[in-house]
Amino acid sequence: MLTPTPLSPAQCHFFHEQGYLIVPDVFDPADLEPVRQELHREIAKKAAALHADGQLQNLHEELGFDQRLTALHLDSKENGDAIIRHLEGLRGGGFHAPEMFDVIAHPKLVAKVSSLLATEEVVASSVYRIRPKLPNSGRGVVPWHQDSGYFSEHCDTQLIITCWVPLVDATVENGCMQILPKVHGGKVVKHYTGGNAGFLVIKDEDLPDDPRKAITAACPRGGVVFMTNRTPHCSTPNTSDHIRWSIDLRYQSAETPSNVGLEPAAHDAEGRAEPRFYEKVAVACYPPEADFLVSSKLHPELVTTYAEYARRRELYDRTKSDFSAYKRWRESAEAAGARTGH
Ligand SMILES: O=C(O)CCC(=O)C(=O)O
CATH numbers and ranges of domains, the chain = 12-26+95-340 (2.60.120.620), 36-88 (no CATH)
142 close to ligand 1 (CB < 6 Angstrom): yes
What is the per-residue pLDDT across 152-175, written as a single tens digit (0 to 9) for each? 899 999 999 999 999 999 999 999
227, 235, 244, 249, best to mutate for ligand 1 pocket (most atoms within 8 Å of CB) = 235
Q: Give the tens place of pLDDT for each residue, 51-66.
A: 999 999 999 999 999 9
Q: Which ligand 1 atom sits nearest the alpha carbon of residue 141?
A: 3
Q: Are 152 and 160 in contact (CB under 8 A)?
A: no
Nearest CA to ligand 1 atom 9: 248
- CA 190, CA 283: separation in Å to the nearest integer? 22
Q: How far is CA 65 from CA 202, 218, 236, 244, 341, in A?
A: 33, 20, 21, 10, 45
- d(CA 173, ligand 1 centre) in Å: 16
Interacting residues of 40 by C-beta distance below 8 A, sequence separation 6+? 64, 65, 68
Nearest CA to ligand 1 atom 3: 235
Cβ of 178 below 6 Å from ligand 1:
no
pLDDT tens for 81-117 read: 999 988 876 554 578 999 999 999 999 999 999 999 9
Query: 114 alpha carbon to ligand 1 midpoint, in Å?
Result: 21
Q: Which ligand 1 atom is at minimum distance from the Cα of 246?
A: 1
| Tens digit of each residue's pLDDT (9 = 90 or more) over 12-71 | 999 999 999 999 999 999 999 999 999 999 999 999 999 999 999 999 999 999 999 999
User: Does 125 contact ligand 1 (Cβ within 6 A)?
Assistant: no
Q: 301 C-alpha to center of ligand 1: Å? A: 33
Atom of ligand 1 lying closest to residue 175 CA: 3
- DSSP character at residue 174: T
What confidence score (pLDDT) does residue 261 get? 85
Q: Which region among 179-183, 241-245, 336-340 has the lowest average model confidence (pLDDT)?
A: 336-340
Encode pLDDT of 217-259 as tens digits: 999 999 999 999 999 999 999 999 999 999 999 999 999 999 8
- 3-state helix vs strand vs coil in the chain, percent to 5: 35, 15, 45
Separation of alpha carbons 292 and 246, rounded Å: 22
DSSP assigned state of 117: H
Q: How far is the CA of 142 from the centre of ligand 1 (A)?
A: 6
Question: Torsion angle, CA of 116/119/124/127, rounded to 10 degrees?
Answer: -50
Ligand 1 atom with least separation from CA of 248? 9
What percent of the chain stands above pLDDT 90?
72
CA 271 to centroid of ligand 1, rounded, Å: 30
- Give the dihedral of Cα atoms 25, 29, 30, 34; nearest 10 deg: 120
Check pocket membership of 147 for ligand 1, CB cut-off 6 A: yes
Q: Work out which ligand 1 atom sits closest to the CA atom of 131.
A: 1
- For residue 63, report the distance from its CA to the centre of ligand 1, in Å: 26
Separation of 140 CA from ligand 1 center, angstroms?
9
216: closest CA among 200, 234, 240? 234
Residues 6+ apart with CB under 8 A from 60: 47, 67, 68, 71, 72, 75
pTM metric for this prediction: 0.93
